[in-house]
Amino acid sequence: MGYNAIRGNCDCGQLVRSKGRSITGKQMWDKRCWKCRCGGYRQYKKDYCESCGFVALHAVQLDVDHIDGNRHNNHIDNLQTLCANCHRLKTQLNNDHLPR
């Protein structure tokens, strides 16, 4: 899609997400919708932190973490639910935030 001014559809049929505007001001569109972009792994999110046991009052308090640090590996065995604090700590301790 790239710089197309017309918003298209993802392969799943949903509207694609906006990527903002280019430096020339043209609207940019992604090739996939938000759900397909995230790999659909959010469906595996639990309602508690698998590290410390924190029970969330709202889903925004929890994140889906990639255990091996590879954000492209969305296999169910590589996903875990962590509270924001445990997620930040794990990312820092494992250097998951650094480029590979």
Rounded CA separation 45/51 (Å): 13
Q: Are 79 and 40 in contact (CB under 8 A)?
A: no
| Sequence spans of domains, the chain | 1-37, 39-93
Find the distance separating the first CA and the last CA of the chain, reported in whole Å.
Answer: 28
More confident residue, 89 or 19: 89
Rounded to two decimals, the pTM is: 0.61
More confident residue, 97 or 49: 49
Summary mean pLDDT of the chain = 84
Residue 100 has pLDDT above 70, yes or no: no
